[in-house]
Structures are given as structure tokens and as C-alpha cells.
Structure 1
Amino acid sequence: MRKLIWGLLLSLLCAPALANWNDPAYVKRAFSLIALNNEYDNLSHPVRKWHKPIRVYLDHRVGDAPLHTMLTTIQLGDLARVTGHDIALVDAPGKANIRVVFTTEKRWQDETRELWPTQKDFPFRGAICMAHMTTSSVGEIKTALIVIPVDLARHRGKLLACLVEELTQTMGLPNDSDKVYPSIFNDSSKNNLMSPLDITLLRLLYSPEVRAGMGKTQVMPLLDKWFTDHPGWPQQSIDLYLKSEFVTKLGL
């Protein structure tokens, strides 16, 4: 199984169209596209990230709660391992700053509007699942909501991809782009798990020097310093990928 995983990984990383993921200049462009932009507007944004501990409540409104809990727990463990941030599940919505709702296609749009009433117009068109964040005036993420219509996601074969992408986006990587590859933030790459590039973006975002509210001119020199201080970063990101429980235990 490990040889198969390595073969699949190397086939991705060695493909000509993907060969630049371990080039710092390519990663910096990817960081700018994914971290400093939004999926639903064309504006430039400052760095957004959590500074306080993340507490996640799972709101089960459909069956298969043990499966959904297991998948979420694995992804949260990977996010904590990659970022070094304090992330844990809680047993009540009042204790949480991220709420993950597992519901149905019939109800999910109404429930999203009920749970997130401050936004009137949601870009539901073509979406299979959705995440929203609130930030402070300086870009610190305060709360997030993820809503997954399980029946729709499973019908499209995207339940795992929805969980992985939305949880990762609520860390402060909210944009999608076809220019970033291989990545869960690129719908054309068909990744269900975080790629080594995605892991690198998270490591950059959660380096201690990078603070919420920083603009592009402030953060880019810090990324240059990070690459200099971490000369083995490509292999380290691959190692973090291989340590994922999705890979080591589930063989995905």
C-alpha cells in the first residue's frame, strides 16, 4: 500500500503541468491567489487566520454521525499537525467558533440562511457545500460555518472532498483557483485530500511571523524568509501528507 501511495503521489508531483509546486516563486503566487483573495469577489484582501484556539461543533441533522465524526476528526488532526494551531471538537454549539452542519440537499440552503442571517445573498449556484467566516477589522477569523448537504455530496462523490476543502478554507485560505495545482482549491485537480502544496500554504499562513491583517507587501518578504529558514520544506510537506490518517490508515 505504501508503494502504491508513493507511486500515486509521485505521478502527481512529476507531471509536467504540476512540476512547479516545490518552487518558492510558484508557492508565493499560489499563496497570493488563495490566501489574499476570495472565492466570490475580485477584491484583494489582507491575511486572514485564527489567533485564538479553534473549537468545532458537529451538528448532525442526518444519519451516519459516526462516519462524519471520524472524517472530520481526521481532517482536524491533520490541520492541527500542519499548522501547530490548537484545534479540538466540543460538545455544544455555545462552546464552538466553527459549526459544521451535516444536512440534506432539500434543507441546506434554508438552514444556511437561518444559521448565517447577516448575509442576505448566498452564492449557492453550482455549489455542493459551503463555508463562511467572520473576521475582525484586522482580519482575525472569529467564527465560521460549514454546511454540507450529505446526500448531494455523496451523490457527486464529494463528501470527503467537501469536508477537507471547507475545513481547510476556514483556516484562512478562502479562494479557489485553476492556476494553483495540485490543490483541493482547484476544482480541475480532483484532489480529495490536501496536497503537499496545500500543506505548504498552511505552514506559511501559520508561521508565527505572519499575522492577520497583513497586506501583500508586508507578508511576501516573510514568505521569502520562511523558505530560507526551511530549506527542506518540500520533503517536510510530503512527509506531513504521508502522515495523514487518511493515507496511513484508510489508504486513500
Structure 2
Amino acid sequence: MAKSTSRTAILGLVACACMALPGAADVQKSSQGTATVSKSSLAAYYATLEAQFLAQGKMKTARHVPNAPMDPVSLQRDFVHIALHKEYGSGLSASGSKTAKPLLRWETPVRVQVQFGPNVPKSNRAKDVRTISTYVNTLARATRHPITLNPHKPNFHVLVVTEAERKSLAKTLPKLIPGIAASTVNSIARMRPNHLCMVVAEPHGNRRKGFRRAVAIVRAEHPDRMRVSCIQEELAQGLGLSNDHKEVWPSIFNDDQEFALLTKRDEKLLGMLYDPRLRSGMKIDEVAPYLHAVASAQF
């Protein structure tokens, strides 16, 4: 979570981060000392990274794993890990925080808009729109919450951009999304090459109203499976399952990159998050009395 002095005091910050770095010859240092990758090598870096993941048996597309635990008790445990704890503290480097946080979700309809940087190929745009449209329907079914692909007054912005276009967002985002928090813009501007993708969700000042806006960044340089994986994880996390935890399995809410797509377990966790017995702003001790019934309702 990132703190801000703006009217949106706390941001829900999630970044799908891979700590593997490109070869030393491809890494440059900016004047601030931040690792960067040249434009010509970025797509190759992500292609190599995806190939490494696949060779290690990661980025699986199976949505159901036979004999994997699937019961109310384990779902309760996982829900506490990923819905009621922070992944990020005071910046992108503060991963793995165990600090408890209130439950946050959308209490109003989610209207998703997809926008592309001018240098994203048209063939990729059509493919990504189909992917996101289908996935939005999956999320709506899992949550039983109104989530649609809708350009009319959107509140969940999905930006597919090249690295150069991402850097320019620091100047263009306030015009593109009026009222966007400065902390959101700064978080996006600080993305490094080893942050594969990101979603920043802004809650209302009154936490019981849930989220008011979210912005997801998907890198156009990603190869197909990595790009789809980023879309699925960041949109799901932008709905409120904001943490990653090593014990949540089989799941995309786990930094080990084993699964590329939303699993059946993940769908049940989303269903729990949007159970009508819960609401935004509830703390762990307020959620606890409902957890068993909420988890059991998924079976």
C-alpha cells in the first residue's frame, strides 16, 4: 500500500514483479541509479524470461489441479492471506508485508475501459480486447458483481503500452483520467523492467464505499502468454484480492509464477470477496465471524 497526502489517502498497490534480471550487457543505469533496459532489448528480455518460466514448468494454463486442496478451511486461510493483508508497504520494493489491512472491494459497478498506446500493433490490440472482454465476463460470473467492458464513464482503466509510452504517462495520465491521485501516477512512473505489470486501485476516503478507480498497466512488449497472465492477475487483484502469498495454491495470487491463468480456486476466492455478508472497510476481526459460512457457500 502506498501512502499519500492527497484526498485519496491510501492506495491499493499491486505489482506482478519478477526479480530475475536481464543480462548485464542489457542493463543501464539512469542518473537516479534505477535499472533500465534499452528499447531494442526489452521485448527480447521478456521473451527470454517467458521461455525460462516455461522450461521450469511455470506459467501453467491449467485452471484445475487434480487432488489440490479445495475445502472451506483452506479457502478461509487463503482469503485472510490475500484479501486482508498488504503486499506492498511504502513502495514497490516493500513486498511481502504481513501487515493486516481492511477488506476493500468495489461496492459500485465496475466499468472497464481498454486503451492502447499508439505504437501497439493493431493485430495485438484486437487480440487483447478479445482476451479482456472474455475475462471480464469470467470475473463477473465469479463475483456476481456488475463488471463490464464499458467506455462510458469508466472507472477501471487498462492501459496496454510500450515502455516509452509508459514513461510518458507521468504527464498524460492526469489529462486521460481527471482526478487521478498523484501517488497513482508516481507508482506507475517508478515501474522497473522487472515489474512485469501493475494495478493501482484508489479507494474512497470513506473505506466503506470501497474502490473508486483503478489503473492497470500491461506491457506491450510481453509475449502472448505473459501478456495474458498479466491481464488476468492484475484485473483480479484490482478487484480486491491484492496480496500474493506463497501458501496460496493452486493460484495466480502467488509470486512463484507457477500458474498463468485464474484458477478455479481463485474464482472461489473472488466469490468470497464479493459475498453480500462482507463489505469494504471491515477489519479481520469483523470478517472472522462470517468466514466459515462465506467459504462454505462456494461449494
Q: What TM-score comes out, normalization by structure 1 length? A: 0.78
What residue is the counterpart of 1:164 in the other structure?
A: 232
- Quote how far apart the aligned CAs of 1:109 are: 4.0
The answer on 1:213 being equivalent to 2:281 is yes
* Deviations 1:204-224 (CA, angstroms, capped at 9, x unpaired): 111111100011111122121
Paired position in structure 2 for 1:183: 251
Contact 1:57-1:100 at 8 Å conserved across structures? yes
For the residues of structure 2 that align with 1:179 and 1:27, how far apart are their CA atoms? 11
Counterpart Cα distance in 1 of 2:127 and 2:228: 11
Q: Distance in 1 between matches of 2:66 and 2:101?
A: 30
Tell me, yes or no, if the aligned pair for 2:63 and 2:261 is still in contact at 8 Å: no
Distance, in Å, in 1 between the alignment partners of 2:86 and 2:66 is: 26
The corresponding residue for 2:141 is 81
Bigger strand share? 2
Change in CA separation of 1:9 and 1:98 when aligned onto 2, cut-off 3 Å:
closer
User: How far 1:112 sits from its partner (Å)?
Assistant: 5.8
Name the structure 2 match of 1:24: 72
Partner residue of 1:138? Answer: 207
**TM-score relative to the length of structure 2:** 0.66
Corresponding residue of 1:100: 158
Tell me how many residue pairs correspond in the alignment: 214
- Going from structure 1 to structure 2, the CA distance change for 1:190 and 1:110 (only over 3 Å counts) comes to farther
SS in 1 for 2:104: coil
1:32 counterpart letter in structure 2 = V
- The structure with higher relative contact order (CA 8 Å, sep 6+) is 2
| SS of 1:34 mapped into structure 2 | helix
The structural deviation recorded for 1:161 is: 0.3
Match of 2:163, SS?
coil
1:124 to 170, 183, 191: 191
Compare CA radii of gyration and give the structure with the larger one. 2
The amino acid that maps onto 1:36 is L
Structure 1, unpaired ranges of 5+: 1-7, 234-252
3-state SS of paired residue (2:113): strand
The structure-2 alpha-carbon separation of the partners of 1:81 and 1:114, relative to structure 1 and needing over 3 Å to count, comes to same
Output the CA distance in 1 between the equivalents of 2:66 and 2:195. Answer: 28
The secondary structure found in structure 2 opposite 1:107 is helix
How much does 1:177 deviate?
A: 1.4
Separation in 1, partners of 2:230, 2:170 = 16
Distance, in Å, in 2 between the alignment partners of 1:75 and 1:168 is 10
Q: Where does structure 2 lack aligned partners over 5 or more consecutive residues?
A: 1-61, 90-96, 174-179
Q: For the residues of structure 2 that align with 1:209 and 1:73, how far apart are their CA atoms?
A: 28
Relative distance call for 1:54 and 1:28 in structure 2 (3 A) is same
Residue 66 of structure 2: aligned partner: 13
Equivalent pair of 1:183/1:189 in contact (CA under 8 Å): no
Q: Which runs of 4+ in 1 moved over 6 A?
A: none
Q: Deviations over 1:156-206 (max 9, x none)?
A: x41110000011011111111112111111132521221121111111111
- Alignment-mate amino acid for residue 40 of structure 1: Y
TM-fit CA distance, 1:110: 3.9
Q: 1:37 aligns with which of 74, 79, 85?
A: 85
Distance in 2 separating the partners of 1:78 and 1:60? 22
Letter in 2 for 1:203: G
**Secondary structure of 1:76's match?**
helix
